[in-house]
Amino acid sequence: MKSSIRSALAAATVAAVPAFWMARHSLSPAVRTWTRPSLPPDTRGPLFARVGGDGDRAVVLLHGLVSSGDVFGAAYDELAATHRLVVPDLLGFGRSMDVSRSAFSIDDHLDALDQLADRTGLFERRWTIGAHSMSSALALRWAARHEHRVDQVVCWGAPVYPSPDAALARISGSAMARLFVLDTGWAEQVCAVSCRHRTAAGWLTAASEPTLPVHIARSVALHTWPAYRDAMRHFVIEADWQGQLNRLDDSGVSVELVWGTNDKVGDSDFASTLTSANANTTVTLVPGADHHLPLTHPALCRDHLDPET
């Protein structure tokens, strides 16, 4: 009898796990609002990108760390009705993953974006750049390189910190981050295992992140250790936020820094102090939103991308 009860309890526990996952998944705002992009993808030089529209102005969307351009789902494809829309997988990530590279410098990323711009007609237009998380620092540098071509940069969930020490302190507040970000030995080993078993790693991420669309969660595995390591260093820990914002302000390029009030990434209070010195920099907070703003609030993010509206 006791054996039968134990067996019944074990079976109930096993059945409860997928039921709990499905409940969290189906109720997640990111899952409910995201749909797969509809624009056709293609290879544009070193970067994989989806491109559409032929408007006089352009919108370029840059994804965050360990992600892909697909985080900007079908809702963003609507921008192609009035703009030239370009959505790449950044160098070393997603379908632009490059296993032959041992390093990814800032100029490597910028040069790859320039090749993309050349092949998609961006140099014939003026641009707005939308960037999520890690790519915010990259977007500011790219805008500075083309300050006479870019009108606006919108950054969602930017990892803005006053110094590298402050960035490291915030990262080290998480046990998982200390293990997989700061302890590079462990991080490199985990990444090496993931690289050898990317399909399994993608499904494992989807299983452990029920609040994300499965397609988006699976793309987390599409990178190499050098791509992850160098992006974290260049665009999070060592990013010169004040210097880049000052330069764009001098050039008349507007920058909007947007955070959800539940976003734990970045120091929005420090960012707000920068607005006093930079007339073209603004900070916006979205009540109740978290770090996945492009997934959970696509209409709001999309509306920020046209400086004429």
CA 183 → CA 177, 179, 190, 237, distances in Å?
Answer: 8, 5, 11, 14
Query: What percentage of the chain has pLDDT greater than the value 90?
Result: 61
Q: How far apart are CA 92 and CA 112, in angstroms?
A: 10
- We find that the CATH architecture of domain 34-303 is 3-Layer(aba) Sandwich (3.40)
pLDDT over 50 at 38, yes or no = yes
| Share in percent of the chain as helix, strand, coil (round to 5) | 55, 15, 30
pLDDT over 60 at 156, yes or no = yes
Q: How far apart are CA 306 and CA 292, in angstroms?
A: 21
pLDDT, tens digit, 9 for 90 and up, residues 163-214: 998 888 887 655 545 555 555 666 667 666 677 778 888 888 888 888 999 9
Average pLDDT in the chain: 87
Q: How far apart are CA 255 and CA 246, in angstroms?
A: 10
Q: Which residue has the higher pLDDT, 20 or 239?
A: 239
Domain residue ranges of the chain, discontinuous segments joined by +: 34-303
pTM over 0.85: yes
